[in-house]
Amino acid sequence: MADILYDFGTGRSDPSTFPAAALQAAAVKVIEEQAEELTQYPGGLGHAGLRRAMVRREGEREGVEIDPDHLVLTNGSMQAVTLTAEALQEDKGDTVLVEEFSYPGTLSAYRSLKLEMVGIRLDEGGMRIEHMEEELARLEREGRRPKFIYAISTYQNPTGFNMPAARRSQMIELAARYQVPIIEDNCYADVHYEGDIEPAVFALDNNPNHIYLGSLSKILAPGFRLGYVYARPPMLEKILARRHDAGSNYLAAAIAAEFYKNGISEHAGVTNPVLHNKRDLTLSGLRETLDDICTWSTPAGGLFIWVRVPDDTDRPKLYELAQQNGVNYLPGVSFHYANRNKPYLRLAFGHLTEQQIEAGIPVLARCIREARTSNEPRQFETLFD
């Protein structure tokens, strides 16, 4: 197997914008000032300073005041995904609603918990509300009320779609009608390039059964392993009851709190223009090499572009060819709730250099063409039928 030269598979930010000097200074200050606290367990909620910083982050973006004592720091957002699912699950086989294509980590966690996932079809506005309503009505008739709806509403992974506020309100109304909590995973909202930032569910509705997940992996670094859950009592207590560790990484949280003490906008102002340019380079490469046979998303934020390939593409052959030619990506099967090998692939562009993007997309395009069984032009105009 050839070395991977163009890794479009991993969703990370640009390494060149990592604020090493500022974080080093923050670490020195934290260790000098909080040495005693570092010798103690942080407790279930976690570092108070970072909770306040994340409350400020959410408040400034959403325009809604939240209580820092209703925010729980976690060891990455995946712990938040698992904790919240465990808090709402009653038995193996419980039903939950997810996007037809969703984050592989979440899908893997739900499979491990033996949850039965019902996939809701997508379009360019995210989950299709009419299909969600059909599935909720069907499950109600069968006596199987879902335990929750899991939604990545902003810059959805893998598609990059942004659910409009009107559709979010429709989802909230449906959830209330069928008495189903919403778990909203909002890891990407601050990786924003253009257009409006749509409001989070908690900013549109004060239902105490809704749960909100956040992360620092996409705006700072995944190596910090810092995520959080925002939930109000009594839901907050249900989640904390599932926590069996002694809290999240205090040192990482303290450093991040010091770094973000004046808000996140300054650092986002450094990282987002770089990522925006890389998105545009990736889109330009796709237009130049695949416009006649593929279509793809144009995300207004986030780290991913979702590409639809022709139906006659031999997907296993494509993946093998790409690997042999030094290109990595994640195939559509990785994101499908039922593990179906659909004709899609996801491109992550954040951590590659501009030169790698410009060189790698034509290589991938050649592999796609070689993996087809015909030379027919594109038979579709949209990402989803």
Neighbour order of strands in the sheet with 211-215: 71-75, 226-230, 211-215, 182-185, 149-151, 95-99, 116-120
Is-same-fold flag (6-16+266-370; 20-263)?
Answer: no
Q: Check the CA dihedral 371-375-379-381 and report its sign.
A: positive
Longest dimension (CA), the chain: 68
pLDDT at residue 30 in the model = 96
**Is 347 in contact with 279 (CB distance < 8 Å)?**
no
- State the DSSP code for 71: E
Pairing outcome for strands 211-215 and 226-230: antiparallel
pLDDT at residue 197 in the model = 87
Those residues with Cβ within 8 angstroms of residue 237's Cβ, 6 or more apart along the chain or in another chain: none
pLDDT at residue 218 in the model = 87
pLDDT at residue 1 in the model = 56
Q: Check the CA dihedral 175-176-178-183 and report its sign.
A: positive
Instruction: Spell out the per-residue pLDDT of the chain, length 385, in tens.
Output: 579 999 999 999 999 999 999 999 999 999 999 999 999 988 889 999 999 999 999 999 999 999 999 999 999 999 999 999 999 999 999 999 999 999 999 999 999 999 999 999 999 999 999 999 999 999 999 999 999 999 999 999 999 999 999 999 999 999 999 999 999 999 999 999 999 889 999 999 999 999 999 999 988 889 999 999 999 999 999 999 999 988 889 999 999 999 999 999 999 999 999 999 999 999 999 999 999 999 999 999 999 999 999 999 999 999 999 999 999 999 999 999 999 999 999 999 999 999 999 999 999 999 999 999 999 999 999 999 8
The phi and psi torsions of 78 (rounded to 5 degrees) equal -65, -35
- State the DSSP code for 352: S
Using CA atoms, how far apart are residues 336 and 344, in angstroms rounded to an integer?
Answer: 10
pLDDT at residue 43 in the model = 86
Write down the CATH number for the domain with range 6-16+266-370: 3.90.1150.10
**How many C-beta atoms surround the C-beta of residue 338 within 10 A?**
11
- State the DSSP code for 361: H
Question: Exposed, middle or buried by CB within 10 Å (0-12, 13-18, 19+), for 170?
Answer: middle
pLDDT at residue 383 in the model = 95
Q: Which residues of 115-145 are buried (b: 16+ CB within 10 A; e: fewer)?
A: bebbbbbbeebbbbbebbbebbeebeeeeee
**Is 259 in contact with 216 (CB distance < 8 Å)?**
no
Q: What angle do CA 323, 324, 326 make, to 5 degrees?
A: 60
Domain layout of the chain by residue ranges: 6-16+266-370, 20-263
Q: Domain 20-263 maps to which CATH number in 3.40.50.620, 3.40.50.2020, 3.40.640.10, 3.90.1150.10?
A: 3.40.640.10
Global pTM value: 0.96
Q: Where are the beta strands (DSSP E) in the chain?
A: 6-7, 71-75, 95-99, 116-120, 122-123, 126-127, 149-151, 182-185, 211-215, 226-230, 295-296, 304-308, 327-328, 330-331, 344-348
pLDDT at residue 45 in the model = 94
